[in-house]
Amino acid sequence: MEGLVNAIGDLDEETAARLVKEMLNKGEDPLKIVELCRKGLEVVGQRYEAMEYFLSQLVLAADIFQKIVETITPKMKQRKAEIRGKVVLGTVQGDIHDMGKNLVAILLRLNGFEVYDLGVDVSAKAFVDKVKATGARIVGLSGLLTIAWDSMKKTVEEFKNAGLRERVRIMIGGGTINDSVTKYVGADAYGKTTVEAVRLATGWGGK
C-alpha cells in the first residue's frame, strides 16, 4: 500500500492509477485508498515547501487525485443512502489554507453528504448564517495556522450567541489541532486526518 503513497509523491500517474484499480479489485475500503492518497499529497506538499516541486507539480498532484476520486466514486455511491446529511464547511477567518478542507469536502460528498463549502477566510457570522439557511447539523472548521484557533473559538461562541450551539456538532481540523486546542475552542471533536473527519460526520449522522 505504501506503493500508492510513493507513486503520488513521485507524481507517477500511471502507477497510481494501476495500484488503485488493483486495490479496488481486491475489495479494499475506498476510504483507506483516499487516506493513502492523502499521505501521498503530504509528500508532494513537503517537496513543494523544500522547493523540490513547483506550482505545476502541485497542479499535477491535484489532477492525479481527482482522477483517483473519479475511479473510486462508483464504489462509494452505495453508502449514500445510509449516511446522508448536511455539513457546513470552511477555513476560518485569518487562514487561507484549503487542501485539507477540500479533501474533506470531496470525501463527504462521496459519502452522501450535502456539503456547503464556504471557502477560506470565513467569518464566524458566515458559518452561523449558513447553518440558519440550510438547517445543517454538522459544522467543520479548518485551519492550519495557530492564529486560526481564536477564530475557531469565536465561531463556536457565535453559535452559542445565536442559540444554535446545542443543535450542531462542530468538528475542527488542521495540522496544529490536538485535544488541548479542541477544548480551548469548545468544539465537539477534531479529525486527525481527512478520513477521520468523515468518520466523525458519519457517526454523527448529520440529520
Question: How far is 51 from 1, CA to CA, in rounded Å?
Answer: 27
Give ranges for CATH 3.40.50.280 in the chain: 85-204
pLDDT digits (tens, 9 = 90+) for 112-146: 788 999 999 999 999 999 999 999 999 999 998 89
Give ranges for CATH 1.10.1240.10 in the chain: 2-79
Question: How far is 126 from 76, CA to CA, in rounded Å?
Answer: 31
Task: Give the cell for residue 199.
Answer: 468518520
- Classify domain 2-79 at the CATH class level: mainly alpha
Residue with cell 475489495: 27
pLDDT digits (tens, 9 = 90+) for 75-84: 765 554 454 6
Task: Give the cell for residue 4.
Answer: 500508492
Question: How far is 183 from 198, CA to CA, in rounded Å?
Answer: 20
Question: How far is 112 from 202, CA to CA, in rounded Å?
Answer: 10
Q: Are 67 and 13 in contact (CB under 8 A)?
A: yes
Pinpoint the alpha helices (H) of the chain.
Answer: 2-9, 13-25, 30-49, 55-76, 99-110, 124-134, 148-161, 179-185, 194-204
Percentage, residues of the chain above pLDDT 90: 52
Nearest to 13 by CA among 67, 73, 64: 64
Q: Are 103 and 111 in contact (CB under 8 A)?
A: no
pLDDT given at position 9: 93
Dmax (CA) of the chain: 52
Q: What is the mean pLDDT of each run of 10 residues along the chain (207 residues)?
A: 90 95 90 85 83 86 87 69 78 89 82 89 97 96 93 98 96 92 96 84 77
Q: Which residues contact 69 (CB under 8 A, 6 or more apart)?
A: 34, 106, 110
What's domain 85-204's architecture? 3-Layer(aba) Sandwich (3.40)
Bridge partners (DSSP) listed for residue 86: 114
Q: Which residues contact 194 (CB under 8 A, 6 or more apart)?
A: 34, 35, 38, 100, 103, 104, 107, 173
Nearest to 103 by CA among 38, 149, 27, 182: 38
pLDDT given at position 193: 80
